[in-house]
Chains A and B, each alone.
Chain A
């Protein structure tokens, strides 16, 4: 019996245990932080460009973690709305924050999963030995970049194609399609949304986000009346450290009074869809052997990330396909996972994904989701890492996932250490 136990100790019993094992070639998370999420258009970040948000976050991150910035070999930043995904201004931000120019830079855009794709990109480079340490981030200023100019145009020849045309369907309509196709009533969506608000406002009130948010200083322009009664613009410096999206007292009954936003008979409205927001988040990844040799504390282990394609007209079902795929590839079941962070682009699509994967309510978005917190598009994937690493206990496995405009889903697996 002793010999059998001895042998068993040298082998791992199941896949979840194997994933929890600590091996020197693991990709590990040394730090994951984010800014507070500002309300789009009228929040604290309304006058702050994505490049300055990123600069402030990176500077605060380096200060907070004390990591030697010269170790960083590559910086990947996910972004959706900036021109060219922010390839120039975010490289500039990386330099401005004190990361040396020896670190390479890449701008990534896979719509709402861009932040996660940045993490996956850096992690894969570490896995295959291209680099030992990289910084992944996501940033979005919807205040400044979200508007009519963000609506894409297709060449008329391409637009003739049925499939191609579907890529232009507004996101709200895709949720109407999901709700209609899978029979998700407005009542359950409102209930879900109210619940998200309740969880998030409770988390804000009890300081549960304090650990993951790095306070940053930005400038706001405010109109004030001067002595002569004339309007003038005053610039104020403010330190932002609290999410602005969540509000207390949102109930399903109150949400029921809101008008549908996308079609008169629709079920999607401002209260059960994600908010327009600004924010940034970043995750520092290293090979475990490097992190250990430098003595940096390890927060978690990156395991795997998968993306899938789904029909563009019901793009919200993405997580329902991406989560089973990533679980299957890593040999896990829903029961092995302790927390799921699924982006709440809309209540309908999130509910469908939850039901499809049989995820218990208690495991889903324990501190609320994008309906209450906001969904700064490119930032969200990285934001989920900052959040989930504070929700998991050491040894627990977490999954983050989101649907992606034009018909995709992405999901990733990580372990808290």
Chain B
């Protein structure tokens, strides 16, 4: 296990470079991302096993996610708390090479298209998903999921944190889009999830871009989603109900004839193909393995990162257990407990022996570890 400390900055996102087997980028934010600066680190894994940071940039607001460019080996796009999307080049110090200001609130995810490598997508708490290309000053298009502020199964009574009048109404998180991911199989398909538990699939070629929309986590917030790298119709989602759910998109009804998403009062949603349970708090990120169609990893507020096996079979659903999704569904294969705070970001290495992963979290640590050995 290798480690690096992002002193003074709490980790939010981490990703292996698609061009160099020894490079990582880490998106961090000071003060747990609640207020203050952010910092983007480029990390080198040295031959002797130490990790060094040749360059890092400070930003005005916390960085919540990053994505390496798929066309330019030196560039990284970041998602920032002040609504900015920035592109950094690690041969250019001090400032980003591009700066896009369109989102009105925190940008929470950024993801590069693996097929049409000139595009990337961002998701923001302003309720919008935007598609960008590095060469243009403005976004290519904007997707807007329907706001569903009704779906919410639990009303949690929080202790008062402040007596100031303008802090009393926390506002709804229903329209916050937490994650948007381009499909690795089809260049124009985007998967997104939001605070009202909806997972949506978009086709940006189609005039009615919304292809599928369903309630994935029983009305609780859907924080993360990812495409299976081998099965084009299989996705995973995770949320504040602590579960990771595996879905076969072919088994989900399309939105009705009017193109509207499933009605807001509909809090149950379809049945997942598999359900992976074990996290003790909300699941913050799920990521399918690039090497194995049945393996995925997750991070959670329970301070662990877990490796899971999903043995459900989308081609022979009758094998998935006659009664429920639990039988023969696979399960947790390893728990990484080294982090001492919320674990937020994770990524699988594309390089070398399959199984190397990296995680980062609020304990200011980046760990590189072997998923086969936890």
Chain A interfacial positions (CB closer than 8 Å to B): 1-14, 17, 20-25, 71, 73, 129, 132, 287, 289-290, 292-293, 295, 395
Contacts and interface: CB of A to CB of B under 8 A. Distances in A.
Contacts of B125: 6
B158 A13 contact: yes
Given A2-B170, A5-B171, A10-B301, A395 B218 contact: no
Given A10-B223, A11-B282, A23 B324 contact: no
B221 A24 contact: no
- Among A3, A4, A8, A25, the one with the most B-chain Cβ atoms within 10 Å of its Cβ is A3
B326 A129 contact: yes
Interface stretch (B236-244, B290-298, B347-355): B236-244
- B interface, how many residues as a size bin? 35 or more
A96 B350 CA distance: 61
27 contacts: A1-B162, A3-B33, A3-B34, A3-B106, A6-B173, A9-B158, A9-B173, A9-B221, A10-B223, A11-B282, A13-B158, A14-B159, A22-B153, A22-B154, A22-B218, A23-B241, A23-B277, A24-B218, A24-B243, A24-B277, A73-B323, A132-B326, A287-B324, A287-B326, A289-B324, A290-B324, A295-B268
A48 B283 CA distance: 53
Nearest to B172: A9
B156 A25 contact: no
B277 A8 contact: no
A393 to B, nearest CB: 13
B266 to A, nearest CB: 12
Contacts, number: 86
B72 to A, nearest CB: 31
Interface string B193-224: 00000000000000000000000001011010
Given A24-B275, A25-B243, 13 more contacts: A2-B170, A3-B106, A5-B161, A6-B170, A9-B240, A11-B301, A12-B156, A12-B281, A21-B156, A71-B323, A132-B326, A290-B324, A293-B271
Contacts of A11: 281-282, 301
Contacts of B173: 6, 9
A294 B242 CA distance: 21
A290 B106 CA distance: 37
Contacts of A1: 161-162, 167
A10 B325 CA distance: 25
Contact of B157 (A5, A17, A129): A17
A124 B220 CA distance: 25
A20 B155 CA distance: 9
Nearest to B217: A24
Interface in B252-297: 268, 271, 275, 277, 281-282
B240 to A, nearest CB: 5
Contacts of B325: 289
A68 to B, nearest CB: 12
B176 interface: yes
A71 B322 CA distance: 11
B361 interface: no
B243 A21 contact: no
Interface string B27-40: 00000011100000
Interface in B73-94: 81
Contact of B241 (A6, A20, A22, A395): A22
A203 B221 CA distance: 41
Nearest to A16: B157
A1 B163 CA distance: 12
B34 A4 contact: yes
Contacts of A21: 154, 156, 241
A17 B240 CA distance: 13
B155 A395 contact: yes
Contacts of B275: 24, 289
Given A24-B277, A292-B268, A295-B268, A10 B34 contact: no
Contacts of A22: 153-154, 218, 220, 241
Interface string B301-327: 100000000000000000000011110
A13 B170 contact: no
Contacts of A10: 221, 223, 240, 282, 301
B156 A9 contact: yes
Contacts of A3: 33-35, 81, 106
Contacts of A71: 323
A363 B275 CA distance: 39
B300 to A, nearest CB: 10
Nearest to B242: A23
A231 to B, nearest CB: 56
Contacts of B33: 3
A73 B223 CA distance: 34
A2 B155 contact: no
A6 B156 contact: no
Given A3-B33, A24-B275, A295-B268, A132 B323 contact: yes
B158 A6 contact: no
A2 B161 CA distance: 11
Contacts of A7: 34
Contacts of B242: 23
A2 B243 CA distance: 25
Given A25-B277, A289-B275, A290-B324, A20 B154 contact: yes
Interface string B126-162: 0000000000000000000000000001111111011
A318 to B, nearest CB: 31
Nearest 8 interchain pairs by C-beta? A5-B170, A25-B277, A10-B282, A293-B271, A132-B324, A10-B240, A24-B243, A3-B34
A24 B217 CA distance: 9
A298 to B, nearest CB: 10
A211 to B, nearest CB: 24
A5 B159 CA distance: 11
A290 B167 CA distance: 40
A289 B244 CA distance: 13
Nearest to B171: A2
A395 B154 CA distance: 9
Nearest to A14: B159
Contacts of B35: 3
A132 B277 CA distance: 15
